[in-house]
Amino acid sequence: MATILTFALTAMLGVLAIFQIALAVGTPLGKFAWGGEHTTLPLNLRLGAISAVLRYAFIAFIALDRSGTIAVLPGEFSFWVMWLIVAHLGFSVILSMLSKSKYEKMTLAPYTFVMGLLSMLIALQ
């Protein structure tokens, strides 16, 4: 079960990473992210999009380790970091809901909520 949850979370993170890469290279999808104020992101937010991709890779790595799909880190470390990820994603849902962008509220908030639930289920394993 944990493996299925982990692969679902990893796939969702992959889709989100592709979206952030598209934002970073200038695709006009900015109304769906980063507050929705810019159709095409300015340089500082493009750099933020790149950093988000790195965060997603880290989250996937921790989830894969926590679920036992890979075994690299001490179990207690991945246990606690996975709970930090759950908190991070919960905070991300709140930020998306507070966004001025209705598109971000309609897309990223529920998407991130599902990722948070998956993360919590993985953390509970």
Query: In the predicted model, what is the mean pLDDT of the chain?
Result: 95
Please provide residue 69's backbone torsions phi and psi, each rounded to the nearest 5 degrees: -65, -40
pTM assigned to the model: 0.92
Per-domain residue ranges of the chain = 2-124
For residue 58, give the DSSP letter: H
Q: CA 58 from chain center: how many Å?
A: 10
Measuring CA to CA, which residue among 69, 80, 89, 90 is closest to residue 6?
69
Task: Write the pLDDT tens digit of every residue in 4-50.
Answer: 999 999 999 999 999 999 999 999 999 999 999 999 999 999 999 99
For residue 100, give the DSSP letter: S
**Residue-level pLDDT at 65:** 95
